[in-house]
Amino acid sequence: MGKAAAALLAGQGHELVALDIAPPAVPDLAFVQQDIRERLSFTFAPDDVVIHLAANQYHLKAPRRDREEFFRRTNTIGTGNVLARMEECGARKLIYFSTDMVYGYPRALPVPADHPRSPFGPYGRSKMEAEDLCAVYRQRGFAITIFRPRMIIGPGRLGILDKLFALIERNLPVPMIGSGKNCYQMVAVEDCARAILLAMEKGCPSGEYNLGSKNPPTVKELLRQLILAAGSRSLLIPTWGPAVKTVLGVTGFLGLELMYKEQYMIADRNYLLDISATEQALGWTPSLGDGDMIFAAFLSRKRSAAK
């Protein structure tokens, strides 16, 4: 959990306790060491709301071998361990952060929360399995809110953008996958935290809710704005998407993974989540646009590098 998100939650009078394998980089946040890949020992209170953010993701350098197990061990089995421990302690409210990758290729745009789930990679599959576990525990009386965010962006959450920002800082050409005429939606860490607060206020309504920005610009326009704001001389280079994907697939097979399949396969596609159901059910709406988000993330990287 980022500093901004923790501050937003704590600012509403909530007592936060981080359960993790290592202390978070958030001052004054209570910490209890736990590894959800194993049986939990932490004692939840019956009125606790558990916010489940733990996951293995691609930026953690997913191994080429046993990749399914790498994701499943934390994302699926770990979620099962959290749910089992909650049940033992009498806690029944969970907010779980899943992913839009459970949808796979969009069959409708914008993608509604009831869109069929058909993930095409191990990360998305592990999250879908975790969602299925949540459905089982809902039948046991749990109130479980599942959020499916687009790419979460904010300080400390750069992921694949780190490579992009490095090119812009060095005034190097920035190749796009495809023409850049598609839209690629994101969501801010702070807006995710506000979604958590609203779900808590409503007692963790059981359902699936998309999180994303409104009216995102095209990738080309978004990056053009970022380059201008950064004072960079980088040039955007359009490419033929299918050829780039083939190259990325071959280099990945050979052990040089510049991007992962679940990332590059939709990089040249319009991929927008329908957030109307989230707005209606929770009263949530994103406060930040994609341009503001990506520039703030760019500045945070520069500040971190300067320290």
DSSP 100: G
Over residues 184-203, mean pLDDT: 93
Q: Is 88 inside any structural domain?
A: yes
pLDDT score at 63: 64
Over residues 145-164, mean pLDDT: 84
pLDDT score at 8: 62
Residues 293 and 212: their CA atoms lie apart, in Å, by 12
Over residues 165-188, mean pLDDT: 94
Q: Is 185 inside any structural domain?
A: yes
Residues forming a β-bridge with 19: 32
Q: Is 303 inside any structural domain?
A: no
Q: Read off the pLDDT band of 207 (50, 70, 90).
A: very high
3-state SS assignment for residue 235: coil
Residues forming a β-bridge with 30: 17
Which residue type occupies 123? Answer: Y
60 vs 292, more confident: 292
pLDDT score at 98: 98
- 8 A C-beta contact, residue 46 and residue 91: yes
CATH assignment at residue 106: 3.40.50.720
Q: Is 29 inside any structural domain?
A: yes
Range of the domain at 263: 3-298
Over residues 172-185, mean pLDDT: 94
Residue 167: is its pLDDT beyond 90?
yes
Residues 100 and 275: their CA atoms lie apart, in Å, by 12
Over residues 89-107, mean pLDDT: 96
Over residues 110-115, mean pLDDT: 96
Residue 216: is its pLDDT beyond 80?
yes
Q: Read off the pLDDT band of 5 (50, 70, 90).
A: low
276 vs 306, more confident: 276
pLDDT score at 89: 98
Residue 206: is its pLDDT beyond 80?
yes
pLDDT score at 73: 94
Q: Is 265 inside any structural domain?
A: yes
Residue 186: is its pLDDT beyond 70?
yes
pLDDT score at 162: 84
Residue 59: is its pLDDT beyond 90?
no
- 8 A C-beta contact, residue 105 and residue 154: no
- 8 A C-beta contact, residue 261 and residue 249: yes
Q: Is 46 inside any structural domain?
A: yes
Q: Is 304 inside any structural domain?
A: no
pLDDT score at 7: 59
Q: Which residues contact 68 (CB under 8 A, 6 or more apart)?
A: 122, 125, 126
pLDDT score at 37: 95
Structure tokens at 27: 């001052």
pTM assigned to the model: 0.92
Over residues 91-99, mean pLDDT: 98
pLDDT digits (tens, 9 = 90+) for 259-288: 778 888 888 989 999 999 999 999 999 999
Report the chain's mean pLDDT, rounded to a whole number. 90
- 8 A C-beta contact, residue 95 and residue 196: yes
27 vs 132, more confident: 132
The angle formed by the CA atoms of residues 98, 209 and 152, to the nearest 5 degrees, is: 50
Number of domains making up the chain:
1
Residue 157: is its pLDDT beyond 80?
no
162 vs 207, more confident: 207
DSSP letters spanning 107-131: SSSSBPTTSPP---SHHHHHHHHHH
Residue 3: is its pLDDT beyond 60?
no
- Which ranges of the chain does DSSP label H, i.e. alpha helix? 3-10, 67-72, 78-89, 122-138, 161-169, 189-201, 219-230, 241-253, 261-264, 276-282, 290-306
